[in-house]
Amino acid sequence: MTAAVRRARETEPADALPLGPPHRNATLTALNETHDPQLRSWVASANTQGNDFPIQNLPFGAFSRAHSQEAFRVGVAIGDQILDLTAAYASGAFNGSDDALAATQACCVPTLNALMDLGPSAWSALRLALSRALRLGAPEQALLAPCLLPQDQAEFAVPARIGDYTDFYTSVHHATNIGKLLRPDNPLLPNYKWMPIGYHGRSSSIGVSGQAVRRPISQVMRPGVSAPELAASARLDYELEVGVYLGRGNALGEPIALDQAEQHVFGLCLFNDWSARDVQGWEYQPLGPFLSKNFASTVSPWVITLEALAPYRQAWTRAEGDPQPLPYLDSTALRCQGAINIALEVYLQSAAMRDQGLPPHRVSHSNFRDAYWTVSQMVAHHTVGGCNLQSGDLLGSGTQSGAAADEAGSLMELSLGGKQPLSLPSGETRTFLEDGDTVVFRGHCQANGAARIGFGEVRGTVLPARSLTA
């Protein structure tokens, strides 16, 4: 660290900058100077209106230089650039706070697991150090400018080594919509409003945005026949979800209490849990999804920390006529700010649209604040029986749908099970995904008195099924 940088850091108090929105309940992530909406960065692109990665965001991911033999390494998105944290550590820019130094050193590896395992104090210290070093006028600019790489010159990897993956079912609107299609007389099963429903998925087939998804093959039972057949899925679908990356884990047999749950959550991402609906309809009873889900899931490259999401917290409520949560799933802090306002969008682009130069077409939108079960409730319920979570584990929120028809987070809902086709700008229609279709999810957060931050996007393209005769 240069003498000028050291003097600047020693004379600048932690609360030197005014806060934007008021300070929140300290039992969940509090606001601090990194959230100040007036902050600007010396990385010019971070200051442009509508940019997903202003200085108030600072999400983490794993990248390498495209078309190179370089190893993947941890970086931070700032504007249209990536700050290479291995290079930043070597520059000496973060030799101040012990926590920040340890956290930066933990980023000099290919994945986020080591950083995730350090816990919230280290995450927050690194975020503060990054915020200060990337601010307009920061003396660290000379050291860090050579550590930047344009995002369009990078390729990305799944940000963490995901040991285990659990998919939940937290949208009551999605659960009801699907239930009406499958069980018109009994759409919502009685346990749904009492506990977060989930199943253990397959982590090995989780890929990063840009993933090519081959249409899966499995047993399907066609309508009106008496025996199943091995065939390519004809009802391939997407599921608009939010992914939850776990940070520091818990010991086997020791549950995580609700109000401590977010201390074990590193951050959130966008998540597409591809689904073969015809396969699912035949296999899901009595044990639930299997081959209909395990062929592919796709995460966005960037992990948005819970601290970055603090300004967008909202009250979480349960309708008066619904069962109120059991005590281990309820608290004052949860009621005050357990929900997170994340606007979500789904776009679809067919091969014909790409050929015609047509951009992806928005087919639906929803918001994560409408989830029936929250992030902390998912973690608390997952561990109440003693299950041990580990750093890098991923939880899927389940499909996020709203109450309105255009807020459905899957084609299964939008097309009413294939009975109501969607129209695309190319003149094509869709009930389920066709080969060559590209699905894009986007998400962002906005609130009065806070900067707009985004999640980037997660995209994937459908490839034809392999030959059954090969």
Instruction: Return d(Cα 313, Cα 306) in angstroms, integer.
Output: 10
Instruction: Return d(Cα 135, Cα 430) in angstroms, integer.
Output: 46
Q: Which of 174, 365, 381, 382 is catalytic?
A: 174
Place of tokens 């993956």: 165
- Strands 198-200 and 313-314 turn out to be unpaired
Q: What is the DSSP letter of 137?
A: T
Confirm if 396 and 167 have CB atoms less than 8 A apart. Answer: yes
Which residues have a Cβ under 8 Å from the Cβ of 331 and sit 6 or more positions away?
27, 258, 259
Transcribe 199-256 into DSSP letters: EE--STTEEETTEEEEPPEEEE--TT-SS-EEEE-SSEE--EEEEEEE-S---TT-PP
Closest CA to 281 of 239, 236, 348: 236
Element at 99 (helix H, strand E) = helix 98-106
Q: What is the DSSP letter of 60?
A: E
* Phi, psi for 177 (deg, rounded to 5): -60, -45
Provide the CB-side half-sphere exposure for 135 (13 A, CA).
21
Instruction: Return d(Cα 435, Cα 465) in angstroms, integer.
Output: 9
Tokens for 271, please give them. Answer: 């998540």
Closest CA to 246 of 78, 376, 122: 376
252 CB-contact burial (10 Å; exposed 0-12 / middle 13-18 / buried 19+): exposed
Element at 66 (helix H, strand E) = none
Element at 129 (helix H, strand E) = helix 120-134
Amino acid at 98: D
Is-catalytic flag, 174?
yes
Instruction: Return d(Cα 38, Cα 23) in angstroms, integer.
Output: 16
Known catalytic residues are 174
